[in-house]
Structure 1
Amino acid sequence: MRRKSALSNGTVGVNDAAPDGELPTSTEEGVARRSAVAEEQAFLDLATARRDRLANHLQVELSSEARDALERARQRMLRQQHEELRRAREGLVFGRLDGLDGIVRHIGRVGLRNDSEDSEPLLVDWRAPAARPFYTATAVDPQGQARRRHIRTAGSTVVDVDDEPLDGTMTAELVGEGALLVALDQRRTGRMSTAISTLQREQDDIIRAEATGPLIVQGGPGTGKTVVALHRVAYLLFTYRRMAEQAVLVLGPSPRFLRYIAQVLPALGETAVVSATCDTLLTGIRVGRDESRLLAEIKGRALWQHALANYVTSLLPRPRELKLRWEGEFYVIAAATVAQALASAVQGRPYHRARAAFAEQLHHLLTDVVAEQREALMEEMEEGFEDILARVDRSMGQDHHSARTPTGSDIDGLLSEEEIEQIRCRIAEDATIARFIEAWWPTLEAETLLGELLTDRTLLARFAPQLSPEEITAVSTEPAPWASSDIPLLDALADLLGEGDAPQPQGEFVADRARRQRSWVYGHVVIDEAQELSEMQWQMVLRRCPSRSITAVGDIDQAEAAHRHTSWAQAVQAAFGDRWTAAELTICYRTPREVMDLTEPVLTKAGSHNTPPRAVRSSGIVPWTLTITPAELAGAAAQAVRQLQQRWHGGMVGVIAPADRVAELLGVLSDVPVLTATQSKGLEWDATLLIDPQGIATEPRGWNGLYVALTRCTQELGQLILTQQSPHP
């Protein structure tokens, strides 16, 4: 809201925050804070009332029946606006900027117009350019701002405020540190929440970066990679409205992860989003088996893109003379003509689209041959029976009842364009011709083709000569049911074949249509845990976003997949070459300093050359260890979990263990998640119980996995160390 600021009546400092719900009791400080809270409560009430009026107005608009396509499009837009307002009940207002020019702007989940004719909005959308100083202004670079205020709310009540002067008298490392640390200290719920009130500058820079090409964001544990990725989606959809017409694809590492983030984008008002994993991108195809790391690594290599393209090309028909039967007569199309038609049909087209193009050309070619033969026959008839035809013509001229306007072959033996088109239509509809085309250029299925290739060593050696004999032997096994590494190969084949998507009913939102169609082209793709993607999975991404408007976030030091790359340059070389932009998140907000101090030697053993992110908060809880024997594991784990749950009541406790220990632990720990290091990626809990860290380290890429496992907690880390000897008292 555009109004004058009154900073002279006292400033509530960043470090003056009292516990939630408790305002300071000292006279001067307490009065200032209570006054600030009351001021913001009045504004929140005003904004809430305005939100309700707008939502009610939209509801009335939506109650009318749409009569045409234009009206239906308008109603879809209004319905999206209504949904955005409906979801903005919680945290409607969370910030305020007081400009050096005396102008005050409130920042919120959505933008709200003012009741008056004033062009300044009542509430500025957090994604709007005017809101950016809320995340980026500092005392060194105030960007025209005198003060930033974080407003903490619970439902419709203002709980507290944190003020940060930006007039050069104070230098803070973090923007709104008080509000950020309060958010980090809150109990985990098992669902990710929005972070629009506490985004930091390096995060906001990435969120608002240009979307013209691949952006690869490196960030260690707790740096807010996922928060940045999801808020970037919301920002892009708000800023580039055309992108919303194409939808945005969000790729995550697992269904568990997608459930964890499921509330974030809807809470930000975004519906033009499809969430998936690489394994679920192909409609109707499901992963049905695990596969060895060796096979996963081999099938993930970029060489398969070229191999599959050559494989499909080999299945195209070869030019030859074609002899076709139509309406009882045989017609011949010369080999040279067929070769020319094939070349014209194939040029750059997928297999089935080339087939359709050739079929259309064949109909025309056969029509020409039929027409030529009929015209030749009529010419022969006219030469042999000229006087008979003359008498017939004279008699037809005398009989006015049978008279008609002569056309085409009636006049000169040549077929008219209309007659030729009638022949072509009959040929196109002829079942015999259709059967001939199907036999000569058959319809193919990606699943059948891949199964044949992967079980035939001769074919593998021919089309994937880069593979060694040992690798060919490893690959040439029964492929069904499909493994995760088969999905990108199936996707590549489906693209090369050009399988058409079946017509789909129009969904309420663009995302409904996009998720049903394999060939949908998205406006932008966001990838979380991108370091896990194989080269063939990157190709899946490119097919869905040929514009390369892609944001990929991850930590190369947390890579656990079977591929061999250890740097981002290696990871994306096959997909992007050198044409990508790098960004980095350097500050760890989630994981406490006490835990991050344990990670440097683990990263060294993982072969990392990166500097670990710098933790900016301390939980005050030193990580603890307990040494036990394997026989004591079940009881010790159950007891440790109970103690952690008591200490972090209302929050979340998670257990991470080596893969071969998970089944045993699930039998005694039924009320907490028990995961491998890989499964825990991207998740966070108040407290983590890490079981047998040395066992995790011995797994493939185990030191990377241990790095993941160590950094899942926001408060407390406990470790159960297994030994074959009885532990000392």
Structure 2
Amino acid sequence: MPSSLPDVTAQAIREEQDFLDAADSCRKDLIDELGLQLRTPVRDRTDHHRRAMLTARVRALTEADSGLVLGRIDTDHETTHRIGRVGIPRPDGGEPLVLDWRADASRPFYTATALDPQGLRRRRHIRTSGARVTGVDDEFLTEGAGSGELVGEAALLAALDEGRTGHMGTAVATLQREQDAIVRASADSPLVVQGGPGTGKTVVALHRVAYLLFARPEIARRGVLLLGPSRRFLSYVEQVLPALGETAVVSTTCDGLVPGVATERDESREIAEIKGRALWWDALRRHVAELVPAAADLVLVLDGEPHRVSRSRLAGVLRGALAGDRSLLAARDVAFARLRDELVERVVERTAELLTSVEDGLEEILGGVDAALARADDRGVRTAASSGQVDGELSEDDIDELRRRVEADPGVSAALERWWPVQDPRRVLTDLLHDPAALALVAPELTAAEIAAVVAEPEGLSSSDIALLDAVMALIGTDPAGRRDDREPFLADRAAADHGWTYGHVVIDEAQELSPMQWHMARRRTPTGSLTAVGDIDQAESPHRHTDWDGAVAPALGSRWRRADLTICYRTPREVMALVPPILARAGSRNEPPRAVRSSGHEPRELTIEAPGLVPAVVTQVEMLSGAYPGGSVGVVTAVEHLDLLRTALPGMPVMSALEAKGLEWDACVVVDPESIAAEPRGWNALYVATTRCTQELVQLHVR
């Protein structure tokens, strides 16, 4: 502990260090105790579930070794609570030693202000490095009054001034009031969060995931799907949720959402826009409906005897099977089951007819025998037999056995398969996309030129094809035999491999980039509509036509969604945000830019260079900034035309287009050729993204 610290600060750090040591000891003891329980043999399904829960708890406790305690609240009633990433019970019971940050009792730590102290006298932010307390920051909420807009500003700004390391921090201790309200908002209907750069959209989204998994067991049982804009972005945030102790999450991109499928080629923006339109859902539904077999006489042969199902009867079977908006495969299973039942009924009826005829013949024979016996024996001897003793009906056991034979008969199965074969979704999609007549029939909204452009595309899946394929797979259905056992403990692995899996909640980051068909992809994964989408509609760079949230989400969500806004920019300094208003105006924005709350002390620098000197100028600026931020990070955002050249000149350095840089941040950023960025498709939106990637310093290089 530095000797230069004031006595009161040093004493507070010692106090929190003593508590952290005690809490860490309890954490380790709890891990050992749970480890003993995990050694108990598994006997049944209940034990499997219990073991999965214990394993998750051990993992959460193990990963909480950093930031075990992050805050403290002292109430007006002289009680004290520590807040941490996970809850730690007291060895002797009673109130928890450490409150989980998601617990209701922890909420005042994030939401109390001097205007609304919510029963708190003091809030303390505790900074740690591993198991060592490095600093504290006290706020006395009952003394004085402030604007009420920021909570724990000193701790927040200290966190923002930390160097960027390439991985997103959890920021649990510095969640702000408007952020916390979104983290804990109701998850019963879709929520769309609009936030400009630096407002903490991704932090809010990830902490909302952790909160919902903690607070809503029904969501935890099905897990959460996190959709990000790129694999690079997912790598950037991958450490956040494990640090919060949550692993029941599948994180992927829209392109990676279909198991076993990946993009195989690029596509133009024009084709991506055409294939991303909402009209494709209805078009594909019409096309898949054409794959249902026609109603015609069907002959099923059992034991060498043919049984004919009439066209009218088959039409009735099809109507019943297709009712209820079933997938094609589910309807096929229903139709097959009903036709097998029909065959069983036919065989039962035929058997009854045969037995009845045998019975009638037997009665005549028995009558003749009785007459002969009577003539031969004047005592009137009788056989005492009658046709009533011949059972003209099959028993229930006989019918069950017949049903098993029908289900196992290869000839019957082959006849049904020929009548209604299984369709390969990819083949179905490929055939449609290369058939102009079929496209004109099912998608009359497309012009002849648009159809010709789609048909001219080579085979192989592009990004927009993934969303179309997903829709075809949903309409055709998936084989339930491929589903994995519910007893498997790792939900994320199980869910990611199952195309039919539905999640308890879906979170979409950079949601403004999704096409209408990708919105349908996401919506199908949450039948309850429990969904959170975060993004900045003004940063949209996708080729799709929406310019406001209603246009973006209405095709999939209709009008059943809520909006929340993040209005405070914590990341991007005031000096840089001052450049934003004219850029947003050129982008056609209708949103108020967020208000920056911190200053970096560095005014943006602008340099103009000749084109031949581009590479040495960029290299020079990167070297200067890297020296100025040791241990931090520097990024380059450039017009697409310079990407290859600058990546060759700066190996190992993040050199990206504005689209690739979306959602990322560095201490310092060099924006290369902003005029060319603005000239790209949706270029003013792209320049808005590029300009707001830094937390400290911005350099713009104009190319003459």
Q: If the length of structure 2 is used for normalisation, what is the TM-score?
A: 0.94
1:477 aligns with 2:456: yes
- In the other structure, the counterpart of 1:718 is 699
- How far has the Cα of 1:329 moved from its partner? 2.4
Out of 95, 103, 115, which is 1:120 matched to?
A: 95
**C-alpha spacing 1:316/1:557, structure 2 compared with 1 (3 Å):** same
1:155 aligns with 2:135: no
Contact 2:298 2:308 in 1 (8 A): yes
- In the other structure, the counterpart of 2:22 is 46
- In the other structure, the counterpart of 1:221 is 197
SS of equivalent to 2:74: strand
Contact 1:710 1:717 in 2 (8 A): yes
- How far has the Cα of 1:157 moved from its partner? 1.6
**C-alpha spacing 1:513/1:644, structure 2 compared with 1 (3 Å):** same
- In the other structure, the counterpart of 2:302 is 326
Out of 415, 418, 431, which is 1:452 matched to?
A: 431
- In the other structure, the counterpart of 1:440 is 419
Out of 490, 495, 498, which is 1:517 matched to?
A: 498
Out of 394, 404, 410, which is 1:425 matched to?
A: 404
- In the other structure, the counterpart of 1:198 is 174
- Partners of 1:238 and 1:472 in 2: CA distance: 48
- Partners of 2:587 and 2:366 in 1: CA distance: 96
1:189 aligns with 2:165: yes
- In the other structure, the counterpart of 1:79 is 55
SS of equivalent to 1:640: helix
- How far has the Cα of 1:334 moved from its partner? 2.1
- Partners of 1:410 and 1:472 in 2: CA distance: 73
- In the other structure, the counterpart of 2:118 is 143
1:546 aligns with 2:527: yes
SS of equivalent to 1:102: coil
Listed as ranges, the matches of 1:640-655 within 5 Å are: 640-655=621-636
Unaligned runs of 5+ in 2: 373-384
- Partners of 1:378 and 1:56 in 2: CA distance: 73
- In the other structure, the counterpart of 1:603 is 584
Letter of the 1:484 counterpart: S
Out of 484, 487, 491, which is 1:504 matched to?
A: 484
How many residue pairs are counted as aligned between the two chains?
688
- How far has the Cα of 1:561 moved from its partner? 0.7
Which deviates further from its counterpart, 317-326 or 371-380?
371-380
Letter of the 1:235 counterpart: Y
- In the other structure, the counterpart of 1:132 is 107
**C-alpha spacing 1:718/1:369, structure 2 compared with 1 (3 Å):** same
Listed as ranges, the matches of 1:318-357 within 5 Å are: 318-348=294-324, 349-357=326-334
Listed as ranges, the matches of 1:289-688 within 5 Å are: 289-348=265-324, 349-380=326-357, 383=360, 387-388=364-365, 411-501=390-480, 502-504=482-484, 506-688=487-669
- Partners of 1:720 and 1:392 in 2: CA distance: 116
Out of 264, 269, 273, which is 2:245 matched to?
A: 269
The alignment yields a C-alpha RMSD, in angstroms, of 2.1
- Partners of 2:535 and 2:264 in 1: CA distance: 27
**C-alpha spacing 1:672/1:619, structure 2 compared with 1 (3 Å):** same
Contact 2:362 2:387 in 1 (8 A): no
SS of equivalent to 2:174: coil
- In the other structure, the counterpart of 2:150 is 174
Letter of the 1:43 counterpart: F
Q: For residues 215-240 of structure 1, what are the alpha-carbon distances to aligned partners after superposition, in whole Å with 9 as ceiling and x for unaligned?
A: 10000000000000000011111111
Letter of the 1:31 counterpart: D
- How far has the Cα of 1:45 moved from its partner? 1.4
SS of equivalent to 2:234: helix
**C-alpha spacing 1:639/1:76, structure 2 compared with 1 (3 Å):** same
Q: For residues 521-544 of structure 1, what are the alpha-carbon distances to aligned partners after superposition, in whole Å with 9 as ceiling and x for unaligned?
A: 111111100111111111111111
SS of equivalent to 1:415: coil
**C-alpha spacing 1:409/1:287, structure 2 compared with 1 (3 Å):** farther
- Partners of 2:16 and 2:569 in 1: CA distance: 31
- How far has the Cα of 1:356 moved from its partner? 1.1
SS of equivalent to 2:463: coil
Which deviates further from its counterpart, 70-79 or 121-130?
70-79
- How far has the Cα of 1:392 moved from its partner? 9.3
- How far has the Cα of 1:382 moved from its partner? 5.2
Q: What percent of counterpart residues are identical?
A: 51
Letter of the 1:504 counterpart: R
- How far has the Cα of 1:479 moved from its partner? 5.0
**C-alpha spacing 1:650/1:426, structure 2 compared with 1 (3 Å):** same
**C-alpha spacing 1:261/1:427, structure 2 compared with 1 (3 Å):** same
Contact 1:140 1:168 in 2 (8 A): no
**C-alpha spacing 1:516/1:390, structure 2 compared with 1 (3 Å):** farther
- How far has the Cα of 1:393 moved from its partner? 11
- How far has the Cα of 1:421 moved from its partner? 3.3
Contact 1:557 1:606 in 2 (8 A): yes
Letter of the 1:320 counterpart: A
- How far has the Cα of 1:424 moved from its partner? 2.9
- Partners of 1:116 and 1:556 in 2: CA distance: 52
**C-alpha spacing 1:559/1:378, structure 2 compared with 1 (3 Å):** same
- Partners of 1:690 and 1:594 in 2: CA distance: 15
Letter of the 2:221 counterpart: E
**C-alpha spacing 1:394/1:151, structure 2 compared with 1 (3 Å):** farther
Contact 1:147 1:166 in 2 (8 A): yes
Which deviates further from its counterpart, 680-689 or 367-376?
367-376
Unaligned runs of 5+ in 1: 1-20, 396-405, 724-729
Listed as ranges, the matches of 1:100-119 within 5 Å are: 100-117=76-93, 119=94
Which deviates further from its counterpart, 47-56 or 514-523?
47-56
- Partners of 1:249 and 1:92 in 2: CA distance: 26
- Partners of 1:335 and 1:410 in 2: CA distance: 39
Contact 2:363 2:387 in 1 (8 A): no
- Partners of 1:409 and 1:714 in 2: CA distance: 96
